[in-house]
Amino acid sequence: MSTNSVMKDPNHYANIYNAYEKNPKKIRVLDSTLREGEQHPGVSFTNKQRIQIAWMLDYFGVDQIEISPVVSNDHKEATKTIIKQGLKADIVSHGRALKEDIDVSLDCDAKWCAAYLGISDIHLKDKLRISRDDALSRAVETVEYAKSHGLKIRFTVEDGSRAEPEFLLKICKAIEEAGVDRISLPDTVGILRPIGMYNFVKKVRDSIDVPLDAHVHNDIGFAVANAFSACDAGVDQIHTTIDGIGERTGIPPLAEVAVALTYLYKSPNDFRLDMLLDLSRLIEEYTTIKPYDSKPIVGSSAYKHKAGTHLAAILRNPAAYEPIPPRAVGNRRRIVFGELAGKTGAAYLMSLLGLKKDDDSAKAVAAGLKGLRMGDLIEIPLEDRLEKIINDK
């Protein structure tokens, strides 16, 4: 490939390392902001907010939206109303592996339900206080009950990553026979590393035909990596929440997952990625939880450029330090002037202020900025339009 065509796609060689398949398969997204997200400390939406979030997620393009009607009457009302909206996404009504919870989903007129049951020894012994045989029959009965009432059902083998592997397979096979529509494989306490998640999923994938979900927690910071490791092993749906909120440290954030699927995995989804910042802002407004500055995609510094060498490059071609353009995800590029601005940064600042810039004065201003010892002085947005003016000069 010639230098010129590589310049057209600055990610060209990185893409070769990423080794895309010719026809990448579609990886779906289930968003659980309304279920797992509400398990985040301090988060509780009003019904109006729940409905708005569901509409926005649907418009964004997720495949399934999860909500739990069994939590309270309010949640049940919200679930009913959201189901009535006739959104494109499936609304998945989440509850325990109990007939009474399936009944609540039926009451809400759900078409899809999800049932979870802890299957690791610690969950069986210290949470549920039932034997493996009890768990097996409870799982099968729950699936049969949902199916006999015309529901589609996803079954979650909760804490599956810490369950005895032969029992995990036994239970997956039994619910497959009972007609389960999807199985969610969770790393409930986020204890797996990426290869561990791969092996966990592969073990099930090799003996089960039912479509699989990955639900992974971020306790040690591996959630996004593990979700994609699960895809490599055969999962075709990832669970997310907006900004990754959830129990403890949460699960993979929708923004990272949707951007990675689109740009790094070439999965044929139809996401409106430019809504990502708005989705994050919406959750910030409803929860008062502000995403940390350096959070990928939606963080306030995700598209800020500061060091002089970076500014010099960005002013010519932002792709020098941006993997994908900020506009694509609804964010904005900003440049930061301060001690590190350097000669190019200083010259640019002078041109913005209408000052004549020659090499010596640019150097003097750069030295002045350094001498101020104030850290960052100002930051300004750098739009593509402005860049063009600079480049035309």
CB of 36 to ligand HCA, least distance (A): 5
Residue 223 contact partner, candidates ligand HCA, Cu ion, none, CB within 5 to 8 A by sort of partner: none
Residue nearer to ligand HCA on the CB measure, 241 or 331: 241
CB of 39 to Cu ion, least distance (A): 7
CB of 250 to ligand HCA, least distance (A): 10
Order of strands, sheet of 334-338, starting from the edge strand that comes earlier in the sequence:
304-305, 334-338, 376-381
Residue 176 contact partner, candidates Cu ion, ligand HCA, none, CB within 5 to 8 A by sort of partner: none
Residue 306 contact partner, candidates ligand HCA, Cu ion, none, CB within 5 to 8 A by sort of partner: none
Strands 334-338, 376-381: pairing kind: antiparallel
Residue nearer to Cu ion on the CB measure, 184 or 262: 184
* Binders of Cu ion in range 36-65 (CB under 5 A): 36
Rounded to the nearest 10 degrees, the angle between the axes of helix 276-287 and helix 47-60 is 170
Other C-beta atoms closer than 10 Å to the C-beta of 206 total 10
Residue 274 contact partner, candidates Cu ion, ligand HCA, none, CB within 5 to 8 A by sort of partner: none
% helix / strand / coil in the chain, to the nearest 5?
50, 15, 35
Residue nearer to Cu ion on the CB measure, 160 or 291: 160
- Contact call for residues 105 and 151 (beta carbons, < 8 A): yes
Say whether 262 sits in a helix, a strand or coil.
Answer: helix
CB of 351 to ligand HCA, least distance (A): 53
Residue nearer to Cu ion on the CB measure, 190 or 342: 190
- Residue 105's closest CA among 62, 141, 71, 56? 71
- Half-sphere CA count of 369, side-chain side, radius 13 A: 27
Residue nearest Cu ion (C-beta atom)? 36
CB of 231 to Cu ion, least distance (A): 18
Residue 116 contact partner, candidates ligand HCA, Cu ion, none, CB within 5 to 8 A by sort of partner: ligand HCA
Residue nearer to ligand HCA on the CB measure, 247 or 278: 247
Residue nearer to Cu ion on the CB measure, 36 or 66: 36
H helix count then E strand count, the chain: 16, 11
CB of 110 to ligand HCA, least distance (A): 15
CA distance 11 to 44: 41
CB of 39 to ligand HCA, least distance (A): 6
* Binders of Cu ion in range 21-40 (CB under 5 A): 36
Residue 3 CB partners (closer than 8 Å, separation 6+): none
The DSSP call for residue 114 is E
Q: How many residues sit close enough to Cu ion to count as binding (CB under 5 A)?
A: 1
- Residue 216's closest CA among 203, 202, 200? 200
Residues that bind ligand HCA (CB under 6 A): 36, 39, 114, 116, 156, 158, 184, 186, 188, 215, 217, 247
Residue nearer to Cu ion on the CB measure, 186 or 338: 186
- Half-sphere CA count of 76, side-chain side, radius 13 A: 12
The DSSP call for residue 25 is P
Please report, as ranges, the residues that interact with Cu ion according to CB under 5 A: 36
